[in-house]
């Protein structure tokens, strides 16, 4: 799994982890949020681009992000896409939290930002995908509070 940083280029998940820890150590007195979110966009009617973003948010003072793009040639329904987005976020979150715990940062929480909300076609899926995330041990955020998926990841699906 290769991530991209707008400033550093291509990076492995381990390099992303090291970059995030260095960013937090730079100003340890600040409060941080670790966020993972995925969004998708259909292209040419058959391929779907999925982008998973990892965001470290220095609360009130900006942040940094990294993203990974994947193509799929199926998932015709919105329901399939939302569940696949959620599973991609959970996969990355699981691997990232393993790195956190292996390196003495198990106390840091990871939020999963979902591309679902009370308005629109995804409202019927909220309980199911939020349940998947909470059942996996993570905090879940939906629109309008899910900027990791709806702003950061969305930006790179086009």
pTM assigned to the model: 0.95
> Cα-Cα-Cα-Cα dihedral of 120, 62, 36, 104, to 10°?
-150
Report which DSSP code applies to 148: I
Q: What SS3 class is residue 76?
A: coil
* Tens digit of each residue's pLDDT (9 = 90 or more) over 10-66: 999 999 999 999 999 999 999 999 999 999 998 877 789 999 999 999 999 999 999
* Tens digit of each residue's pLDDT (9 = 90 or more) over 95-112: 999 999 999 999 999 999
Residue in 55, 112, 49, 107 with CA at minimum distance from that of residue 75: 49
pLDDT of residue 53: 98
Q: Round to whole Å and give the CA distance between 116 and 137.
A: 19
* Tens digit of each residue's pLDDT (9 = 90 or more) over 129-154: 999 999 999 999 999 999 999 999 99
- The CA-atom distances, in angstroms, between 110 and each of 14, 95, 148 are 16, 11, 12
């Amino acid at each position: 799994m290769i991530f991209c940083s707008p400033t550093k280029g291509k990076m492995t998940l381990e390099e992303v982890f090291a970059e995030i820890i260095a960013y937090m150590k730079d100003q340890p007195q600040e409060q941080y949020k670790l966020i993972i979110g995925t969004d998708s966009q259909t292209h040419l009617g058959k391929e779907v681009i999925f982008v998973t973003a990892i965001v470290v948010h220095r609360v009130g003072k900006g942040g940094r992000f990294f993203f990974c793009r994947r193509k799929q040639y199926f998932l015709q329904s919105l329901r399939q896409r939302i569940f696949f987005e959620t599973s991609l976020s959970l996969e990355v979150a699981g691997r990232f939290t393993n790195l956190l715990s292996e390196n003495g940062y198990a106390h840091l929480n990871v939020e999963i930002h979902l591309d679902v909300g009370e308005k629109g076609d995804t409202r019927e899926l909220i309980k199911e995908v939020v349940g998947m995330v909470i059942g996996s041990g993570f905090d879940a955020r939906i629109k309008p509070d899910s900027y990791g998926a709806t702003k950061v990841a969305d930006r790179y699906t086009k």
